[in-house]
């Protein structure tokens, strides 16, 4: 009715209530909005703890996020990076990317720590090495269109963008579901797989 997109309404709330430069408080403010006002398909605090634990265990130097949306997952990833690490996040929708950029900077992360790349993942992935300087990713977080998971994993393999021992974490593989991705990961012989049980966000 207002003509303001849901994502922009959420950002306006975060801007008004979050503490600038405090990534944890930015995420908590997003959570408050999503619990009380409108649902956003962000990672959320429950699955967020899984992401945080894996980041702590792996301490990756180069992280790739496919599916920036409003920047919630980006802030979650960035706050868990070791010193000197870099995060590349890929957003397909320019309108969502504009919101995410503000959220990421509000949380206190500059372009040296988080690089936001706008474009379809199938076009961005082949250019990551030459155009963006990502030689190999130690940690990949997939949270974009589920039908793209398998295609993009194969693209990462083809362009040799996965470091040895890299972690690939994919959200919502059971529901809404990414069955072809899951079958490939389990049967191709390249990966050791674990399914993390969690509720849907919010």
Long-range contacts for 53-56 (Cβ within 8 Å, ≥24 apart)? 54/139, 54/167, 54/169, 55/80, 55/81, 55/139, 56/80
| Active-site residue, 186 included | no
Q: Which of 52, 171, 190, 194 is catalytic?
A: 171
Q: Which of 122, 146, 152, 186 is catalytic?
A: 146
| Active-site residue, 146 included | yes
Q: Which of 65, 101, 152, 201 is catalytic?
A: 201
Q: Which of 111, 143, 164, 190 is catalytic?
A: 143
| Active-site residue, 138 included | no
**CA 5, CA 200: separation in Å to the nearest integer?**
22
Total number of residues shown for the chain: 202
**CA 20, CA 5: separation in Å to the nearest integer?**
23
| Active-site residue, 171 included | yes
Q: Which of 172, 186, 190, 194 is catalytic?
A: 172
| Active-site residue, 102 included | no
Tell me which residues are annotated as active site.
143, 146, 171-172, 201
């Amino acid at each position: 009715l207002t003509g303001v997109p849901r994502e922009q309404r959420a950002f306006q709330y975060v801007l008004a209530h979050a503490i600038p430069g405090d990534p944890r408080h930015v995420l908590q403010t997003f959570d408050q909005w999503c619990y009380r006002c409108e649902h956003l398909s962000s990672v959320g605090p429950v699955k967020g703890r899984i992401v945080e634990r894996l980041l702590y265990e792996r301490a990756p130097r180069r992280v790739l996020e496919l599916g920036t949306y409003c920047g919630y997952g980006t802030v979650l990833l960035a706050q868990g990076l070791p010193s000197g690490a870099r995060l590349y996040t890929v957003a397909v929708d320019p309108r969502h990317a504009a919101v995410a950029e503000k959220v990421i900077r509000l949380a206190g992360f500059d372009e040296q720590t988080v690089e936001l790349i706008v474009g379809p993942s199938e076009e961005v992935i082949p250019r990551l090495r030459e155009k963006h300087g990502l030689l190999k990713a130690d940690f990949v977080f997939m949270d974009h269109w589920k039908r793209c998971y398998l295609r993009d994993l194969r693209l990462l393999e083809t362009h040799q963008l996965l470091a040895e021992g890299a972690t690939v974490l994919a959200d919502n593989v059971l529901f809404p579901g990414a069955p072809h991705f899951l079958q490939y990961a389990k049967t191709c012989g390249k990966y050791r797989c674990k399914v993390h049980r969690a509720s849907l966000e919010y």
